[in-house]
Amino acid sequence: MFIGENLTNLRIMHGYSRKQLSEMLNITEQAVWQYENNYTFPKLQIVNDLKNIFNVKSKYFYKNDALKKYATPENIPVMNIAYRSKVLNIISKTQTEAKHIAFLDSFVNYVTANLTLPTQKIIQLRDELINYLNNTIDDRNIQINNVAKLARHRLGVSSDTNDYLLFNIEKNGVFIFEKPIGEDIDAYSLWTNKERPFIILGNLKRSAVRRNFDIAHELGHLLLHYKVEFTNLNRKEHKAIENEANLFAGCFLLPEKAFLEDMEAIASVTNPDAYMDLKNKWKVSLQVLGYRAANLGLMDAREHRNFYAALHRKGYLKREPLDEAIPIQKPQKVKTIIDFIANKGMMDIQEMAERDWMVNADFFYRLTGIDKDFFSNYMTEKQDFSISNAKVCTPTIHEQKV
């Protein structure tokens, strides 16, 4: 029997409204609603169209999906999703990303089921910082600077480079993925109720320096804003929270002592071109370098305005020098886990896709952001029976007589 909930989960995860899906299927919006609520069941041609849209097998709609089999119930707190965004949270977008995280969480549960992972330092760090923040009388800016300094040390990030920034954050317990989020949202983060931290990075064409800032910004949310209900924030509160995460990112990416030493070599603090060597060293944008210099009192307000005006005049606000030269860091943690369990014979990726998840390689690419070829190398796609495989046969003369 067709399971309407499976269709609902896929539709929401992909960000489609019922109306959008109905137009793709050339049926009414009411028909989609009826399928999802099990009032009527789709014909084979519709099921075939659905499987092609969502990159799943036909049987996906007739058996329990990954959320039923591998998800932890009520594990994704929708209200706690922290966006690095130009806009306030949109309900439909939040629901889509919450569903995506639910599928990702199920995927992580699946691939780590037979592994014993070490205690995650990110949880220990978060608890240590919560204790500090709850008991300090320091000014909030000082608090954030201290949190960033301790985080960089505890997570093992080098004191003089950000070359392995993403690697160190993944290594210490954060699960980082890429996906096409859209133009208005750069990234977002979330702690699940079972204490698993996620950072989701947009994969639109971006520079390495902007990605590094996104990573640090979301790490700031994970450490500073644990359990904050982002969906209940008004515009002013949302801006204040974002500013705190921005301040954390600047402090975290450019540690004070090392950065002050570097700035001694800058001849003109208002000239963006004078910061090129520092951009290449720290893998951060000229804007962030100027922001941090002003934050540390190396530029007054007038000088910082002149610095920003120079960025605008040179066209650096759209694209900076070195943006194409600095390689973009990409998540590797889950990819490494899959390689390990597959090579050790602990899991058959083909069997995972065919039997347990009932999906194609494209589905895993859409879910995890890991290159399609990575999954395809482990899989030999089998023909999935659908109505498109069937032919209308004309009876033979003998059959007509019978």
Residue 113 has pLDDT above 70, yes or no: yes
Residue range(s) of every CATH 1.10.10.2910 domain in the chain:
76-253
pLDDT value at residue 136:
95
Q: What is the pLDDT of residues 1-14, one digit of tens each?
A: 999 999 999 999 99
d(CA 111, CA 166): 21
pLDDT value at residue 123:
96
pLDDT value at residue 296:
96
Residue range(s) of every CATH 1.10.260.40 domain in the chain:
1-63+358-402
- Mean pLDDT over 212-230 rounds to 95
d(CA 62, CA 4): 9
Across-strand partners of 188? 83, 200
Q: What is the pLDDT of residues 326-364, one digit of tens each?
A: 999 999 999 999 999 999 999 999 999 999 999 999 999
pLDDT value at residue 90:
64
Q: What is the pLDDT of residues 268-305, one digit of tens each?
A: 999 999 999 999 999 999 999 999 999 999 999 999 99
Domain 1-63+358-402, what fold? Answer: 434 Repressor (Amino-terminal Domain) (1.10.260)
Tokens 């895993």 belong to residue: 364
d(CA 26, CA 20): 10
Residue 399 has pLDDT above 50, yes or no: no
DSSP codes, 256-275: HHHHHHHHTT-S-TT-GGGG
118-135 core/surface letters (b: 16 or more CB in 10 A; e: else): eebbbeebbeebeeebee
Supply the CATH classification number for the domain 76-253. Answer: 1.10.10.2910
Using pLDDT thresholds of 50, 70 and 90, give the confidence band for residue 205: low
pTM of the model as a whole: 0.90
pLDDT value at residue 398:
39
